[in-house]
Structure 1
Amino acid sequence: MVDINHPVFRMPSLLQEVIRWEQECAAHVPYLERPSGLFLGIEGDGNGYYLCSPIDSIRFADTGMDGIHYAFLTDFDANQDLAKVPIICVSPMDFDNAVRLVACNLRQFFQLWFSHDGWGRALLLNDFESDEAYACHIRKQMEETCASDSFDQERYHRELRAASASAVHRFGLQDISNPVEHIRWIRQQRKPCCLLPTQDGLGIMPLTSSIEKVEVEPHPWSAMDIEYEDLQALDAFLSNSSIEAILSFVRDYQHQGVVHEPSLRLIGASLQQHGFELEAKKLRDAVYPFLEQNRGGVQVLSVGMIIGENIGGN
C-alpha cells in the first residue's frame, strides 16, 4: 500500500529541478504556454481522477488536453522510490488503449519528452507502431508551415527547440536510439515479471517474495466483462482470493470503467482490509462523481464506461 506522506514519496529531486528550470526558462520562451509543455507537480494524493487512472499511480504531469496525464506506477508499493518506478501515460479518451507504459523511470521519461528538438513528446502522446512511423510523424510536423494571424508557427517551433535544448543541457539528457522499439522492449521486459496479466496491459507484480514464481489463480472475470451485479459471487471472490488476484480484478474493474455503487463498496472494503486505504479512497474519488450524476439509471457512456443499475441500492 502507498503512503503518500512517507518520506520516500517526496517529489523526486529531478521533478523538482525541472519545475525550477521551467520557472527560470519561461521568460526566454514567452510564446510557449509552458517551457516543458506540461503542467508539472503532485497534488494531494496524486489521484488521476479518471475511471481508468490506476489507483496505484501518482499523477505528476498533465498535458492540458483530453485528460491525458502521466503518472508514477507504484505497483501497489512494490517499489517506493518514485525516481525509479515506471512511468505510464493515461489517455482517458483512447478507450481501447487508455493506459500505456512509456518509460522505465522519470529520467527516461524526460529523455524521451525533450528529445528531437522537443518533438519526442509525440512518443509519449501516441502509440506508434514503429520507429519509421514516428519518424514520418516528425517529418510532417517539421514541414508544417501553416500560420495565421493569431498563431506564429515558426516562432513556436523556434522556442520549442530552444526550450528543449536548454532542458537537455541542464539535466544531461541523452537521446534514446530507436525510441519506439525501446518503449516496446520496456513493455515486453515487464510481462514475465508480472504474477498476473490485466486487461490494461500493466499486470500485477508480486507483492511478497515468497510467491514470486508460484502460480496464482486469476479472478473469475479475467477474460470477460465483469459481472459486477453478481454481488454474491464478487463477495465470495474478494473473501477467498489472494491479494494479487484482488488487485488484478481492480485493474480490470477500472479498465472496464464500471460505475456501480454496491460493487464499489465491496471492493473498497476489501482494499481497506488488506491495508490499501489510500487506494480505496482513490477508487471512490474517481467513481463517485459519476454516481452522483447518474443515480437511478443505466447508461453506457462510451466503450469501457458502464453505469450500473440501481446505483443507490445495497
Structure 2
Amino acid sequence: MFSLFKSNSQDFFFGEYEKPDLLQKLEEYQNIRGQTWEWLGFYIEYDHHHSMTPLDVIPFAGTGGDGIHFGFLTDFGTVKDLSNAPIVCVSPSNDPPIRLVAQNLTDFLGLVLTIGEAEFLDDDYTSDEQIKAQLQEWDEVSEVDWKGNPLPKTEIEEMKQRRAERRQGRVLLAKVLSEQFEIYPITKVSQYINDLRVVRKKEITIETLDGIGIKYRTEKLIIEGFDYSVEDNLVQSYLDKASEAERLKFYRDATYNYILSDDFDKVIKELLIKSLQKHGYRREGQILKKKY
C-alpha cells in the first residue's frame, strides 16, 4: 500500500511504482517514427480502463480490438516491483473477462512471440498445435464476403499483400525482441499458463469472483462475498467496519460485478473512491474517479 502520490501524468497511471526498464524500452521503440508492435497485435498505451478492469491492475498495452488490454497485477501494493508483477488480460466482452496470462512482462512478450498475436492470449488452449492452427487461420485470405459472394480479385490481392506484410513483420519483430530486448519465444504455451494459474491459486490468500484472487500478507482467509444490491448506507457501514482484507475483496469484486460503470451506481462509486483514498490507495482512487 502506498501513502504518497506523485503529480505528473505519468504517475497518475503508475502512482508510486517505477515503470519497468523493459516497458520503457518497448515504449521508446514504438515512439520512433515508422516502428510499431502492431504486427504482434499490441501497442503500448496506459489509458485502458474499463469498468471490468480491476483497480489493482495497471494497464500497459492494448490490442485495438473489443477493448482487450493487458496490465500489471499489483495485488493492491503487495507487488513492490512491476518487473515481477503478474500480467493479466482484460477482455470486457469475453467470459471470463479477466485471465492471468504471464508471470511477468518478459514472459508476456515470450508468449506473444510464440502465439503470433497478443489477442490470442484472450483464449485458452489445450495444445501448441491449436495455437498454430489459429494463427494460420488468422493469416488466411477469404475470397468471398460474409454472404458468400466472390470478392473482386484486386481486393483479394490487396488482402494477400497485407497478410504477407504482417507475416514478415512478425519475423522482423521477433528479431528485434531477441537482439535488442533479449526476449525469446516460450514453448508449450498451454502448459506454461496452466502451471502459472495452479501456482497462483495456491499463493492467493483472498479468493475473488474473478478467479484471480489477491495475494495478501496473511494466511488464507475466508471472507464472505458482499451483496452489492443492498442500500448505499449499508455499503458505507460495511466499508467503515470492514478489515483491510475485506475491503480489498470488496474493491476487486466491485469491478467484476460492473458496480463501477458510470451508468450503474454512482453513489457506491463515490463511496469506494473515498474508502480507497482514506486507506492509502490513492492511485486506485484517482484512477476510479477519473477513468471509470
Q: Distance in 2 between matches of 1:8 and 1:271?
A: 15
- Coordinate RMSD, CA, aligned: 2.7
Residue aligning to 2:273: 268
In the alignment, which residue of structure 2 is the partner of 1:108?
107
Conservation of the 8 A alpha-carbon contact between 2:87 and 2:100: yes
Higher relative contact order (CA 8 A, sep 6+): 2
Q: Which runs of 5+ in 2 are unaligned?
A: 143-154
Give the AA of the match of 2:275.
Answer: S
Aligned to 2:223: 217
Instruction: Give the conservation status (yes or no) of the 8 Å contact 1:112–1:123.
Output: no
Aligned to 2:165: 155
Structure 2 residue aligned with 1:133, among 127, 130, 134? 130
Which residue number in structure 1 is paired with residue 212 of structure 2? Answer: 202
Partner of 2:152: none
Q: Which residue of 1 aligns with 2:147?
A: none
- The percent identity for this pair of structures is 26
Contact 2:30 2:37 in 1 (8 A): no
Distance in 2 separating the partners of 1:185 and 1:62: 25
Contact 1:90 1:100 in 2 (8 A): yes
Deviation at 1:165? 2.8
Normalising by the residue count of structure 2, what TM-score does the alignment of the two structures yield? 0.80
After superposition, what is the alpha-carbon deviation per residue over 1:206-236, rounded to whole angstroms, capped at 9, x for unaligned? 1x3xxx2153433434xxxx31x42243223
| Deviation of 1:104 (Å) | 0.6
Q: Normalising by structure 1, what TM-score?
A: 0.75
> Deviation at 1:244?
1.5
* 2:203–2:215 Cα contact (<8 Å) kept: yes
- Paired position in structure 1 for 2:60: 60
Displacement of 1:130 in angstroms is 4.1
- Aligned equivalents of 2:175, 2:117: Cα separation in 1: 12
Indicate the SS of the match to 2:84: coil
Give the SS at the match of 1:114: helix
1:131/1:181 contact within 8 Å kept: no
1:26–1:127 CA distance, 2 compared to 1 (3 A) = farther
* Residues 4-61 of structure 1 deviation map (CA, whole Å, 9 limit, x = unaligned): 648962321111222334456946xxxx78455422144xxxx532101111111111
* Separation (CA, whole Å) in 2 of partners of 1:164 and 1:102: 20
CA distance in 2, matches of 1:25, 1:168: 21
Deviation of 1:161 after TM superposition, in Å, equals: 2.0
State which of 39, 43, 61 in structure 1 corresponds to 2:43. Answer: 39
- Work out the CA distance in 1 between the residues paired with 2:108 and 2:185: 11
CA distance in 2, matches of 1:159, 1:25: 16
Q: Contact between 2:15 and 2:283, CA under 8 Å: does it hold in 1?
A: no
Q: 2:20 matched to which residue of 1?
A: 12
Counterpart residue identity of residue 89, structure 2: C
The residue aligned with 1:305 is none
Counterpart AA for 2:90 = V
* Inter-CA distance 214–21: structure 2 relative to 1 (3 Å threshold): closer
For residues 268 and 122 of structure 1, what CA distance do their matches in structure 2 show?
A: 31
Letter in 2 for 1:217: I
Counterpart check, 1:184 vs 2:194:
yes
Contact 2:68 2:119 in 1 (8 A): no
Rounded to whole Å, the distance in 2 between the matches of 1:199 and 1:7 is 26
State the secondary structure of the residue aligned to 1:83: helix
What is the Cα deviation at residue 248 of structure 1? 0.9
- State the alpha-carbon separation in 2 of the partners of residues 59 and 161 from structure 1: 26
Q: Give the residue type in structure 2 aligned to 1:157.
A: R
**Is residue 8–residue 81 contact of structure 1 (8 Å, CA) maintained in 2?**
no
| Amino acid of the structure 1 residue aligned with 2:49 | Y
Give distance in 2, aligned partners of 1:122 and 1:280. Answer: 29
Q: In 2, distance between residues paired with 1:63 and 1:122?
A: 6
Shift of 1:273: 2.0
The alignment partner of 1:203 has SS state of coil
What residue is the counterpart of 1:81 in the other structure? 81
Residues 174-229 of structure 1: CA distance to partner in whole angstroms, max 9, x if unpaired?
222311121121111111221211111121221x3xxx2153433434xxxx31x4
TM-fit CA distance, 1:238 = 1.2
Change (3 A) 1:161 1:276: same
Report the AA paired with residue 98 of structure 2: V
- Please identify, of 177-186 and 124-133, the stretch whose mean Cα deviation from structure 2 is larger: 124-133
- Displacement of 1:78: 0.6
Shift of 1:89: 0.9
Deviation of 1:255 after TM superposition, in Å, equals 0.7
